[in-house]
Structure 1
Amino acid sequence: MMKLRNVLVATTMIGAPLSVHAQAVNPPPVTGLYISLGAGGNYLQDEHLIGRGGNTSDAAFRSRIGPVVVGAVGYGLGNGIRLEFEGDYRQNRFSEGRNFGYPAAAGGNEIKYGPMFNVLYDLTGLIPFPYAAPYAGVGVGWQWGQFNSVHSYSSARYPLTNSDDTRGALAYQAIIGAVIPFQFLPNLATTIEYRFLGLADRNYDTAATIAPGVVVDGKQKFGNDFNHSLLIGLRYNFGAPPVAPPSAPSPVAAPAPAAARSYLVFFDWDKAALTDRARAIVKEAADNSTRVQYTRIEVNGYTDTSGTPKYNEGLSLRRGRTVAAELVRDGVPQSAINIQGFGETHLLVSTGPGVREPQNRRVEIIIR
């Protein structure tokens, strides 16, 4: 556990300087093609041997913490869902044999590698974080477990069991992570992830030396192969909007500030998704923002009174983030957008509690 703690501390120290330039706003969900690469430490739980009859025995191999590298190509659908294809590499060295019925030592390496297909969901709209965008996902695929001189032996060195075999098995995993974007490089971001990877049973060829010169070939089935990995990496999103270049100073006096322009985007009841009409209004606001000199763009979300005040506050904020993400996709710099959620306050049409009023389910875009 001390080694695992050291890996966690080291990973945090590496990730800290990378977040200095992170944006102080919740980034929108990923849209389009992206690539990612991460590396870190991998902790392999004790691997149990399975005896005859399919029962897991108490005998197990204990290992040391080893390296892990994961590379992926993915595509974000823009609604928070991402589809990802990855390739990974893990290595652990066995250090001890446990519950063999005699004092047992162990050695050799287990290397795992293979393809995985993941489905992930960006939790930007559900869990507000000021500097990072959390996400979670699951994956399924195939992993090869390669034994390099994996062996166990007693203090007298007999019996000695050795394996140099490679076996494939069905694999599954769970992923929890967060992405921290860079302010001046919106396509690039730091990722911090925890991954749990499990493999199905594998049946390895073995050679057992039971006495000097006496070798018996056989097979040994290994059971649970549970891996816990902590990674830090980089992700490059090809679909992220470019940072708008700074405006050149005008040689003439600045004109008087124009009056603020306002656009209303309406939503279906208890929804935060944009309709086709709503997208057209957001596009109009984004296009018009390029024709005027503005200091900021306010995106204010509201709801009707049909829910609880706390729920409506969260729903109004999700609606605001949806509109802000659409503005970014339409070319508005994310740094110019200020998002707020007012819930059921500031009603456009005054109603009593519990009323589903369509005019109150809105987001107001104000270009100042």
Structure 2
Amino acid sequence: MRLRTALLAMTSMAAAPTIAMASTITGPYVNIGGGYNLVQSQHANFAPTTMADGGTVASGSKSRFRHKDGFTGFGSFGWGFGNGLRAEVEGVYNYSQINHRRPTFANGSTSGSDQSYGGFVNVLYDIDLAQFGINLPITPFVGVGAGYLWQHYNPITTAYTNGVTNRVGGTNGGFAYQGIVGAAYDIPGVPGLALTTEYRMIGQTFQNGAYRSTTWNSSGIHKGNVNFDHRFNHQFILGLRYAFDTAPPPPPPAPVVVPPAPTPARTYLVFFDWDKSNLTGRAREIVAQAAQASTHVQTTRIEVNGYTDNSAAHPGPRGQKYNMGLSIRRAQSVKAELIRDGVPAAAIDIHGYGEQHPLVPTGPNTREPQNRRVEIILR
């Protein structure tokens, strides 16, 4: 029993890195989301304007535009490198209402909206909580991005009580950047699918005089340029993410630990590929060792116990039933190989335990190579 305990402990230590990477993404994924878009108040500098006929010049002014409700939406395609790092390309659309402008030379009301659209290249990092001993189906992540956005004002109209009307409009592009903080929740029973929640801060710069201002008053039409200062968006987003392959590359089968004493081992572990019951070349070598050892130690019977990890080709109770059958098939494969190696069939007892008694504890629906095994025990 002490030998079996040592085998289990050493196998658990070998599997520790796999547990830490269980919630990271390896390979391609897609992500969509949307939510609330809150834009900080913007300051606008109005250049001196001239009459349409080149006549009277109006002096410049400054105003602050206040944004109200807005929304955002995005879609992205990315790649996970299996170590927590991800890179993605993203398309985004933002919309915001504008309902206030102060100060102005006379009382009035302001209404309008703006929108931006463009793309980012993002780099993100998933924080696997399992490495801190926290076994939850939640993966926090942080990221940064850089890209280009076109900003369009739809236009913004200010109607003054003295009859004067001003409109600001136009479209211009500029460099944009963003910071991302969020978390992904793995949806039970659907491998690769996760619900995400995020906070994003987007900043954008503009060229001087990028937008147009037109004023209608008693002296005619005045036209000029408008320069907006740095723009900041604060966004609160819900999304869905699907990873096409969330399983990390399986580690090589752990070697059988043989004690230095001349007495052969009494417990042998045979590992299997995911959803497979056929023996690999290495597995046949281990079965042959167990068969040979049974002739050198006092053995009254040989137990062959089959197990699976808690992932399944089918979700829910159906998957548990499927895994039970898979564990029995694995045990039967080992028994057949023992018989070929000269062990009498009457001396072999087989059992299938499915997902029960895992060698390495894991979260739900995890492909853990160390749990896909058959134990050969010489009694």
Could you say whether these structures have the same fold, taking a TM-score greater than 0.5 normalized by the shorter chain as the test? yes
Deviations 1:155-205 (A, max 9, x none): 2242x3213311001001000111001121012110111111111024333
Give the unaligned 5+ runs of structure 2.
1-19, 49-60, 248-310, 332-351
Residue matched to 2:204: 199
Residue matched to 1:172: 177
Q: Distance in 1 between matches of 2:135 and 2:90?
A: 27
- Displacement of 1:149: 1.8
Task: Tell me which amino acid in the other structure corresponds to 1:66.
Answer: G
Q: Distance in 2 between matches of 1:176 and 1:238?
A: 23
TM-score w.r.t. the length of structure 1 is 0.59
Q: Distance in 2 between matches of 1:189 and 1:75?
A: 15
Larger radius of gyration: 2
Residue matched to 2:191: 186
Whether contact under 8 Å (2:28, 2:244) holds in the other structure is yes
SS across alignment from 1:239: coil
- Displacement of 1:104: 4.0
**Are positions 1:42 and 2:11 aligned together?**
no
**Equivalent position to 1:139, from 145, 149, 157:** 145
Give the unaligned 5+ runs of structure 1.
1-24, 258-290, 301-320, 338-364
Task: Tell me which amino acid in the other structure corresponds to 1:244.
Answer: A
**Aligned positions of 1:1-368 closer than 5 A:** 28-50=23-45, 59-125=63-129, 128=134, 130-158=136-164, 160-202=165-207, 203-212=209-218, 214-241=220-247, 243-245=312-314, 246=319, 247-248=321-322, 295-299=356-360, 331-332=367-368
Task: Tell me which amino acid in the other structure corresponds to 2:67.
Answer: S
Q: Distance in 1 between matches of 2:68 and 2:113?
A: 10
- Displacement of 1:70: 1.1
SS across alignment from 2:128: coil
Q: Distance in 1 between matches of 2:140 and 2:195?
A: 12
- Displacement of 1:295: 1.9
SS across alignment from 2:136: coil
Question: What number of residue pairs does the alignment pair up?
Answer: 252
Identity over aligned pairs, percent:
28
- Seen in structure 2, the aligned counterparts of structure 1 residues 238 and 367 have a Cα distance that, compared at 3 Å, is farther
Q: Distance in 1 between matches of 2:181 and 2:162?
A: 46
Task: Tell me which amino acid in the other structure corresponds to 2:153.
Answer: F
Whether contact under 8 Å (1:27, 1:181) holds in the other structure is no
Task: Tell me which amino acid in the other structure corresponds to 1:332.
Answer: E
Residue matched to 1:281: none
RMSD of the alignment, in Å? 3.8
Whether contact under 8 Å (1:198, 1:226) holds in the other structure is yes
